[in-house]
Every structure is written in C-alpha cells, then in structure tokens.
C-alpha cells in the first residue's frame, strides 16, 4: 500500500533530548522528594548552629520553594523525554509493509490527538502517589500499550504534524483518495480500535467498518462526553442511510444500535476514572457489550499496584481480542478473500457478518460482491496499485485444524473444512 513521506525526525536530536530529559527528571525528583524532607530536618527538627542563624521565615521559604523547583524540573524533564521519544518514534514508510503482519488499527478524529497526547492522569491516593507508577508517557501511549501484546498498533498520522505522537505507530496518506487505503487497512486488521467522537472522517470509517469488518473485530473506545457520543450516533445514522441510498444495488445490513454513553459507576474517592471510560464490543449479531474502564485504587499500594489493577481491569477485553483467529496467517485480509468466502470476511457493499442478509438463504453466508472502492478508484495509477495489493491477499484460515484435501485434489474432508465455525 502506498503512503506519503512522514515528518522529519532526527534520531541524534532525539537521543540528546532523551539524555537531557532523564537527567533533568532525576535532579528534579531528587530536589522534590529529597530536598524538602532534608531541609525540614536540618532547619527545624535538628537545627545546627548555622541553621539557627537563618531567620525562620527564610527557612520556611526554602523548605517550600526548593521542592517546588524540583517538581518543576521533573515536569520539564518529562517534556524533554517525550520530545526525544517522538524524534525516535518509528514511522510506517508504506502501509504495504504491513502485509504479512498482524496489526491492530487505531482510528480516531485528528482533533483527539491533542487530548490523548497529555500525560495520563494521576491515580488517587494522596501521599501514596508515585510519578513512576503510570505506564507510558502520554494517554495514548498508556492506553494503546495495553494492547501491544496482541500485535503492533498502527494508525494514520495527522497530515502536516511536526513529529509523530507516541502510542500507535503512524503512517501517512495523501489528503486525496485516503478512503481506499483506509478501507484496505480495515479489511486487513486483526482488530479495529475506533475512538468514538463526532467528525466526518470518523463517521465514515465507522460505516465502512460495518461493511468490511466482522463484528467481533470492531472495538469502540469511548473517550468523549455524552454530548459528543450522541452527536456521533446521530451522525453515523444519517451517513449510513445516505450511503445506503447513494450506493444502492447492494444488500446492506441494518445499522446496529449503539448503547447509551457509558456513565462512570458511582464510587468514592478511590475510584479512578480514566480518559477512556469504556470499550464497546459486538457479537456476531452486532449486539453490543460494554466494558467499563474504571479502576478502584487502594490507599496503601506500592509502585506496581496501579499497573496490576489496569491489567486486571482490561484482562477480559484483551483475552477476547487475543482469542480471535488470525487473518490469513497474518497476511492482509482482502476483498479477494471475501469473494472466496473466507471465514470472517465481509466484502464492501454487502452485509457484514451478523444480521442475516435477505439475499442469502437461511444458514448460509451471503456472497459478497467486488470491492466498491476498487470500482470507484479505477483508472487512478496510485489507487490502482493499491487495489492490486488489496486484491492479492489470502483468505483467513479456519478456526479448527487445517483442511485436508481429498484424493486427487478433491474438496476438503475431515475437521477444519469450510464449514468450521468462526467468522474471524
């Protein structure tokens, strides 16, 4: 798959910023955590002759100001570390290199990047907090890092951004004709993580996912308020209806109903509400299931307590995604595999796996048609090259034992044949 050149990065500058930032963080932490208690002990608990000669107001000022300067240095060091890590962040030069790899696709409106680039919020706990207990430098790095064990998390970068953000590995696409490569990425992803928020691009990506992604492979991330969530639901409904009328002549599944915006459950001061408040998954019939992402943090804890609680809270969701069958042995899932009836495949323009299509007999999978995006971009050199790459993929494997061909190259026999359960 094609792409465009990403932001200019300098590994040398990144290494220098990382070294300077880590040194600044160490000095800031030493001043913030150690100097305050040390000065308090030297000035007030066990003052020596020299300390007694300093006016008490100056001693109080030093005990307060020196730790404050230390924490300012610690915060500045964190910004330097993030800047250096962005210089050294790997970039996808061409999405074609994802073929043959297992990846998770992260989709979101570009306006959410600023919110997700902030540091993750501190867990409640007062004096038990530690600046090192949170994994990841940014909220995106922290959230998406929980899924990194399932495959590389990739995303389309914001056009014109100075440096790639931390979290998902980014590649870049031209402003024109971006829908065809995004559709191909949707079809090849092991799982799609779509952050819910209003916006024409995100709403189109959601409707495209309904047409090309098996329900079990779509995960919605709720990182917005109830107002934005309701705006997204209404925008998706209008766009889906408009696309169904405009691209008529194909069988479209009914638009699945999204649940109401998940509200944080009532809790006390120990309840930690994160920027991503919930995840929404779907079963084969597009019935949604909500996974709240709220952690109750104990007052007494050690450095690794918060990380352990986060992993435990997300364990059911991660296990569900990890249990999905591989797509084509790790290869790109394509419209060609959909035409061959591969498990878990849904061709654009046909109904996704879930609600049965009126065009398919009961108990049988609807027969998809050729990719609509391939027809739309015919005649464009760059898009034609992309389409050939998409159509050259291999189908998903069955979820059971491999198919054993019959004698003379006949149809499959035994377990793991085309009738194996599982739709990707």
> 119 and 62 in contact (C-beta within 8 Å)?
no
User: Which has the higher per-residue pLDDT, 364 or 5?
Assistant: 5
C-alpha R_g of the chain = 26
Crossing angle between the packed helical segments 200-212 and 179-188, to the nearest 10 degrees: 40
Query: 């060609």: which residue's tokens?
Result: 336
**Per-residue pLDDT, 423:** 37
Q: How far apart are CA 19 and CA 27, in angstroms?
A: 12
pLDDT grade, residue 80 (50/70/90)? very high
Q: How far apart are CA 171 and CA 285, in angstroms?
A: 33
Q: What is the DSSP string of 109-148?
A: -TTHHHHHTSPPPPPS-GGG--TTSS-SSSHHHHHHGGGG
User: Which has the higher per-residue pLDDT, 421 or 288?
Assistant: 288
Q: What is the mean pLDDT of residues 210-218?
A: 91
> 100 and 185 in contact (C-beta within 8 Å)?
no
Q: Which two tokens stand for residue 308?
A: 């352990």
**Per-residue pLDDT, 184:** 92
The pLDDT mean for the chain works out to: 75
pLDDT grade, residue 355 (50/70/90)? very low
Residue 147 has pLDDT above 70, yes or no: yes
Residue 36 has pLDDT above 90, yes or no: no
CB burial string 268-297: b at 16+ within 10 A, e below: eeeebebbbbbbbbbeeebeeebbebebeb
**Per-residue pLDDT, 124:** 62
- Which helix (H) or strand (E) element contains residue 1? none
Residue 177 DSSP symbol: S
How many angstroms separate the Cα of 373 from the Cα of each of 190, 238, 250, 309, 360?
Answer: 21, 20, 14, 43, 23
CB burial string 326-352: b at 16+ within 10 A, e below: bbbebbbbbbbbbbeebbbbbbbbbbb
CB atoms within 10 A of CB 132: 10
**Per-residue pLDDT, 66:** 85
**Per-residue pLDDT, 126:** 59
Residue 277 has pLDDT above 90, yes or no: no
Q: Phi first, then psi: give them for residue 105, nearest 5 degrees.
A: -100, 125
CB atoms within 10 A of CB 419: 10
pLDDT grade, residue 34 (50/70/90)? confident
Q: What is the mean pLDDT of residues 250-257?
A: 77
Q: Which of 156-165, 332-341, 379-388 has the highest mean pLDDT?
A: 156-165
Q: What is the mean pLDDT of residues 80-106?
A: 91
Give Cα 296 distance to the centre of its chain.
23
**Per-residue pLDDT, 127:** 56
Residue-wise pLDDT tens digits, 282-331: 999 899 999 988 887 776 677 677 788 888 888 999 999 999 998 754 44
How many angstroms separate the Cα of 264 from the Cα of each of 118, 143, 193, 272?
Answer: 21, 17, 21, 10
pLDDT grade, residue 47 (50/70/90)? confident
**Per-residue pLDDT, 50:** 73
**Per-residue pLDDT, 320:** 92
Q: What is the pTM of this model?
A: 0.70
User: Which has the higher per-residue pLDDT, 24 or 377?
Assistant: 24
User: Which has the higher per-residue pLDDT, 30 or 385?
Assistant: 30
Query: 């990144």: which residue's tokens?
Result: 14
> 99 and 389 in contact (C-beta within 8 Å)?
yes
**Per-residue pLDDT, 422:** 37
Pairing of strands 271-282, 218-222: antiparallel
pLDDT grade, residue 256 (50/70/90)? confident
Residue 413 has pLDDT above 90, yes or no: no
SS (H, E, C) 194-213: EEECCCHHHHHHHHHHHHHC
Q: Quick one: which of 186, 225, 189 has its CA closest to 202?
A: 186
Residue 89 has pLDDT above 80, yes or no: yes
Residue 421 has pLDDT above 80, yes or no: no
Q: What is the mean pLDDT of residues 358-372?
A: 41
Q: How far apart are CA 414 and CA 34, in angstroms?
A: 69
Q: Which two tokens stand for residue 367?
A: 């027969």
> 144 and 168 in contact (C-beta within 8 Å)?
yes
Q: What is the mean pLDDT of residues 384-390?
A: 42
> 319 and 313 in contact (C-beta within 8 Å)?
no
């Amino acid at each position: 798959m094609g792409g465009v050149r990403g932001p200019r990065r300098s590994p040398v500058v990144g290494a220098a910023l990382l070294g300077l930032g880590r040194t600044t963080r160490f000095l800031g932490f030493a001043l913030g955590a150690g100097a305050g208690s040390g000065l308090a002990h030297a000035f007030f608990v066990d003052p020596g002759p020299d300390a007694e000669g300093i006016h008490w107001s100056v001693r109080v000022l030093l005990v307060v100001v020196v730790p404050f300067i230390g924490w300012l240095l610690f915060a500045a060091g964190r910004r330097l570390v993030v800047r250096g890590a962005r210089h050294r962040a790997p970039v996808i030069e061409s999405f074609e290199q994802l073929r043959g790899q297992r990846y998770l696709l992260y989709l979101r409106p570009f306006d959410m990047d600023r919110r997700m680039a902030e540091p993750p919020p501190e867990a409640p706990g007062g004096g038990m907090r530690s600046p090192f207990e949170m994994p990841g430098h940014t909220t995106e790095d922290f959230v998406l890092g929980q899924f990194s064990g399932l495959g590389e998390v990739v995303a389309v970068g914001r056009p014109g951004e100075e440096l790639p953000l931390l979290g998902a590995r980014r590649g870049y696409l031209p402003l024109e004709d971006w829908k065809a490569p995004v559709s191909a990425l949707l079809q090849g992803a092991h799982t799609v993580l779509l952050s819910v928020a209003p916006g024409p691009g995100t709403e189109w990506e959601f409707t495209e996912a309904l047409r090309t992604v098996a329900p079990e492979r779509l995960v919605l991330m709720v990182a917005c308020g109830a107002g934005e969530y309701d705006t997204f639901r209404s925008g998706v409904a209008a766009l889906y209806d408009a696309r169904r009328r405009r691209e008529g002549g194909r069988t479209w599944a009914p638009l699945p109903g999204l649940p109401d915006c998940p509200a944080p459950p009532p809790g006390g001061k120990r309840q930690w509400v994160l920027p991503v408040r919930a995840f929404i998954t779907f079963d084969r019939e597009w019935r949604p299931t909500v996974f709240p992402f709220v952690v109750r943090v104990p007052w007494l804890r050690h450095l690794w307590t918060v990380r352990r609680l986060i992993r435990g809270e997300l364990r059911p969701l991660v296990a569900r995604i990890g249990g999905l069958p591989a797509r084509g042995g790790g290869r790109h899932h394509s419209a060609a595999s959909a035409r061959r009836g591969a498990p878990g495949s849904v061709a654009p323009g046909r109904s996704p796996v879930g609600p049965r299509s009126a065009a398919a007999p009961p108990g049988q999978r609807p027969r998809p048609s050729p990719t609509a995006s391939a027809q739309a971009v015919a005649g464009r050199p760059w898009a034609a090259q992309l389409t050939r790459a998409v159509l050259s993929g291999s189908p998903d494997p069955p979820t059971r034992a491999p198919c054993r061909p019959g004698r003379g190259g006949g149809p499959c026999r035994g377990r793991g044949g085309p009738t194996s359960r599982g739709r990707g």
